[in-house]
Structure 1
Amino acid sequence: MKSVFKRPLLFFPLFFIVLQALTAQTSGGVSADGRSLLWEIKGKSLSKPSYLYGTIHLIGKSDFFITEATEKAFGETQRVAFEIDLEEMGDFSTLMPLLMQSFMKNDTTLSDLLLPEEYSAVKAHFGKLGLPMFLLDRIKPMFLTALDPRLWRPGEAEEETVSYEIEFLRMAQEADKPIDGLETAAFQMSMFDSIPYRVQARMLVDMVKGNPEEAGNQEFQQMVELYKNQDIEGMQGMLGADKEIAAFENLLLVNRNRKWIPIMEKMMSEKPTFFAVGAGHLGGPQGVVQLLRDSGYSLTPLK
């Protein structure tokens, strides 16, 4: 269970974007081994190529990198598309309805989902963080899981973290490129309701009783190393090996990947687009790279 909290960093940005709203260079060229975070998209009457980039939503500053090939590809495109339109997240009128979606339905509370001793453990845990339970009791457990600061800096609590999405957003705004999204923030928030509250509560209890800094640090570092090595198939393998993730793979990955393809096709037909999505979406037979190839496009890994 320990690993489920690290892996959403590969594919689920609302774990950090809503919360944030509130409070090694290499030369360009074709990747010989097929390992890459950056993929050139050509074919099917596209007049100019578009590009697909796999992100990790938060990473230590010392591990953060953007290659020259990525900067070049970014500069050649005329639009940047994320999983969601990040500019909307700065709009208070958009943010407030999303925050309302963080509450469980039907007046469900954590005390309804947990044993008394489990509830006491959760209460004590968030009390140490200065968060009283009367503020948290109706919030969806997976959202509470994301509140734990240990999950974002395992083993390196003092290291500053960096977001690829926020960096690409800054670059797009500086270049005056239009921003778009492949799905709505409301849809991403709705996925909290697709995972049963009791399952979410079990994940929360396991997080509270465990020690993400120690138990998950080795696996988190493994994921970061795979990311730095641009091994999207290795990252996909980590996702598939996790029983908790596998149980909801269609919801979190496969169905979303399939829905994105026609949206990406439309965007690419209009203007060259730089797509930045979680790296967990790229690899595997149902990943975005293969689905685009199945749709008739030619994808080339670049480094």
Structure 2
Amino acid sequence: MHFHRKSKFLASACAAFAIAATTVGCAPAQTMSTPVASTQAPASSVGIEGPALWRVADEDTTIYVFGTVHALPDDVNWYSGTVKNALDSSDTLVTEIDMTPAAKAETAALFQRTATLPAGTTLRSLLTEEQRTDYEALLTEFGMPVNALDTVEPWGAALALSQIAFARAGIDGENGTEKVLEEKIGDRLGRDALETAAFQLEIFDGLPQDAQIDYLMETVTEIDTVVPMLNQIIAEWAEGDVDDLGALLNEALEADPVLADRMLYSRNKTWAGWIDERLDSPGTIFMAVGAGHLAGNRSVQDYLAERGISMTRVQ
């Protein structure tokens, strides 16, 4: 259905932002947090508004898990109160991929290598006449030459066009949650990453060519709707409305269970394993991952529950 096509694009665009925002664009001594009861609570019972923050703890380890949005307008104020205090009490910041300035430069170069088509092949040569007409019309609307992305694989072009649309609407990776966290901590915390940039790029690069073209053409045909939909996600995230965010993602992901597993479910399961293992080492961790991984079915929390571990909503 038409709605599902839009939703599938939105889900994949949002999941891409950790890498997309990068490409274009543990000490044992600390103040230990008191272990808390292992229950997950809705925002209404927590009584605090703001982006969702969870905590999982045992006798000598605390892991804060914060749901992020990888690109934001410049007028969204979220860094205060419980989130700031949690970060200040931590010894290590953990993100999906390494978001330090040096790593961002390496990732941009990796993107160029990974997303480049073989010599002699152009992106537009992979499209039907109808697809090419729609694609060229969008590039023209964006003020770009129609051959601007000819050397780029379809998935890379989809990400590039998404970023342009978001930037035109004032939604920028430079305002993204991880970028702000990096600026706030400077050199005072250790850093770790759950995945490599190469792994996240392979999520897209490993798609069959026809699936990549489908993704590109969904981007082209739904480009006028994606910004309002992302604004809706940002609003729900800012209010801490995990239930509505999860409902939106669940409906989106029903359209393509293979993509859902690739983008979210398998990664959520792996990250739950990371948390379980990290609880064996003392320390306080601030873990920042895309909010979509902490909402809806088969979330990180769900996979932790299978291991007998649950998280407390603290904001």
Settle same-fold status: TM greater than 0.5: yes
Partner of 2:38: none
Residue 116 of structure 1, CA deviation: 2.0
Partner of 1:14: 19
Q: 1:146 aligns with which of 151, 154, 159?
A: 159
Structure 2 unaligned runs (5+)?
26-40
Residue 170 of structure 1, CA deviation: 1.2
Equivalent position amino acid for 1:16 in 2: A
1:276 aligns with 2:288: yes
1:41 aligns with 2:56: yes
195-204 or 107-116: bigger deviation: 107-116
Alignment of 1:72-221 (within 5 A): 72-87=85-100, 90=103, 92-104=105-117, 109-148=122-161, 149=163, 151-152=165-166, 157=169, 162-174=175-187, 176-212=188-224, 215-221=225-231
185-194 or 97-106: bigger deviation: 97-106
1:237 aligns with 2:247: yes
Equivalent position amino acid for 2:88 in 1: G
SS at match of 1:57: coil
Equivalent position amino acid for 1:292 in 2: L
Q: CA RMSD in A?
A: 3.0
1:249 aligns with 2:283: no
Aligned equivalents of 1:131, 1:218: Cα separation in 2: 23
TM-score by length of 2: 0.79
Aligned equivalents of 2:177, 2:204: Cα separation in 1: 23
Query: Taking structure 1 as reference, are residues 239 and 284 closer, same or farther at Cα in structure 2, changes over 3 Å only?
Result: closer
Aligned equivalents of 2:14, 2:179: Cα separation in 1: 15
Residue 282 of structure 1, CA deviation: 0.8
Identical-pair percentage: 22
Query: Taking structure 1 as reference, are residues 153 and 246 closer, same or farther at Cα in structure 2, changes over 3 Å only?
Result: farther
Query: Taking structure 1 as reference, are residues 92 and 55 closer, same or farther at Cα in structure 2, changes over 3 Å only?
Result: closer
Structure 1 unaligned runs (5+)?
21-29
1:57 aligns with 2:62: no
Aligned equivalents of 2:228, 2:6: Cα separation in 1: 11
Residue 56 of structure 1, CA deviation: 1.0
Residues 22 and 107 in structure 2, CA contact (< 8 A), matched pair in contact too = no
Query: Taking structure 1 as reference, are residues 9 and 89 closer, same or farther at Cα in structure 2, changes over 3 Å only?
Result: farther
TM-score by length of 1: 0.82
